[in-house]
Amino acid sequence: MSMVRRVISENLEPRKLLAGVFVEQNGLLMVEIESEPTNGWTRVTSPGGYTGSSAYQWNGADFFHNPGNAKLKYAFKINNPGTYSFKLRSYNITSDPKEFNDVWVRIDGQKWEKIFQSRNKQWTWFTRREVSHGVYDTNWDFNLSAGNHTIEFSARSNKFIIDRFALHKSGVAYESTSIPPSPTTNGSAPNPPPSTGSSSISGFLWNDTDADGVVDSNESRTGRRTVFLDQNRNGKLDSGEKSTTSDSQGNYRFTGLSAGTYYVTRVFPSGYRLSNNTFGYVQITLGNSAKVNLGSRTI
């Protein structure tokens, strides 16, 4: 008799879900599964190793022959049309790598496809599409035109856990858990941190004249510039995002923040960008308080 590892579901903090439309950049779309309401799935934080704020587990009936139950729907926009591969990061908690290991997926309202993995008791990007019984694709590839699309997930096997998914062009890296979710178009972040709390983020702005990401003694501070928390990571100060202005010495401070993940950056004039992170922001997971300095360099 096989033993099933117990997965704990928690009464986690209420979230204001404002995912909007995820935007592909440089041949990669990355989306956290918890960016949409659970719709019958269970939000879980065990086993550890998930990305984002949680993963989703299906704890209901099996739907082996009737897709369309407990749907999760995500809107996305393709900027660079072409052939994309679908990958799903998932977890099979049982001892059987051939059971409790699949979900239904469809693109743009087309045919539901059985997507499965054959690993167990580990997070994996191993993704297969069943063509017919015993026949499967090692890669689920399809052509995507420029513009808006949708992808949907539907419950299939009890106990299966899904974490995040990627659509990527050939040769584009997607497996690292440090890759952030794609930005969204609506100016709000999926699952933004709570708006009030007792923590803070502070630091200063400086002119990084040698563009090495390090504050040198001969480099000056940058005063009277706008700093903001780019929670949808689109490089723009959007409505609803917290912002402040550095003082004459380049110092800034955000207060009243709750524990969570924040993306700190500033408004740059044309021809300049952040010097100390290639993503265009500094990511910080905030417990109490944190120091974040922001360098400016020419493009």
10-36 pLDDT, tens digit per residue, is 344 444 444 578 999 999 999 999 888
The total domain count for the chain is 2
Compute the radius of gyration of the chain from its Cα atoms. 21
Q: Which residues, other chains included, contact 46 with Cβ-Cβ below 8 Å and sequence gap of 6+?
A: 7, 8
- Write the pLDDT tens digit of every residue in 206-242: 999 999 999 999 999 999 999 999 887 888 888 778 8
Whether 161 and 237 share a structural domain: no
CA distance 235 to 113: 35
pTM above 0.75, yes or no: no
In 3D, which of 12, 107, 103 has the Cα closest to residue 54? 12
Whether 253 and 115 share a structural domain: no
Whether 26 and 164 share a structural domain: yes
What CATH number is given to the structural domain containing 204?
2.60.40.10
Among 147, 168, 189, residue at a domain's last position: 168
What CATH number is given to the structural domain containing 33?
2.60.120.260
In 3D, which of 282, 263, 50 has the Cα closest to residue 165? 50
Q: 9-18, 141-150, 170-179, 274-283 — which is least confidently predicted? A: 9-18
Whether 30 and 159 share a structural domain: yes
What's the whole-number mean pLDDT along residues 159-187? 91
Q: Residue 1 falls within a domain, yes or no?
A: no
Structural domain including 284 reads: 199-298
CA angle 271, 277, 282 (to 5 degrees): 110
Q: Residue 264 falls within a domain, yes or no?
A: yes
What pLDDT score was predicted for residue 273? 95
Q: Examine the pLDDT at 99 and tell me if it is beyond 90.
A: no
Whether 155 and 276 share a structural domain: no
CA distance 203 to 253: 7
CA distance 113 to 100: 16
Whether 44 and 157 share a structural domain: yes
Q: Give percent of the chain above pLDDT 70.
A: 90
What pLDDT score was predicted for residue 19? 56
What pLDDT score was predicted for residue 196? 55
Q: Residue 133 falls within a domain, yes or no?
A: yes
What pLDDT score was predicted for residue 189? 47
Render 277-289 in DSSP notation, one character per residue: -TTSSEEEEESSE
State residue 252 phi and psi, 5-degree precision.
-140, 165
Q: Examine the pLDDT at 195 and tell me if it is beyond 60.
A: no
Q: Residue 31 falls within a domain, yes or no?
A: yes
Whether 67 and 125 share a structural domain: yes
Q: Residue 9 falls within a domain, yes or no?
A: no
Q: Residue 259 falls within a domain, yes or no?
A: yes
Q: Is the torsion defined by CA of 105, 106, 111, 117 positive or negative?
A: negative
Among 150, 168, 186, residue at a domain's last position: 168
Residue with tokens 């933004």: 192
Whether 140 and 268 share a structural domain: no
**15, two tokens:** 């979230």
What pLDDT score was predicted for residue 233? 80
What's the whole-number mean pLDDT along residues 174-201? 72
Q: Which residues, other chains included, contact 85 with Cβ-Cβ below 8 Å and sequence gap of 6+?
A: 139, 140, 141, 167, 168, 169, 170
At 165, is the pLDDT very low, low, confident or very high (cuts 50, 70, 90)? very high
Whether 80 and 140 share a structural domain: yes
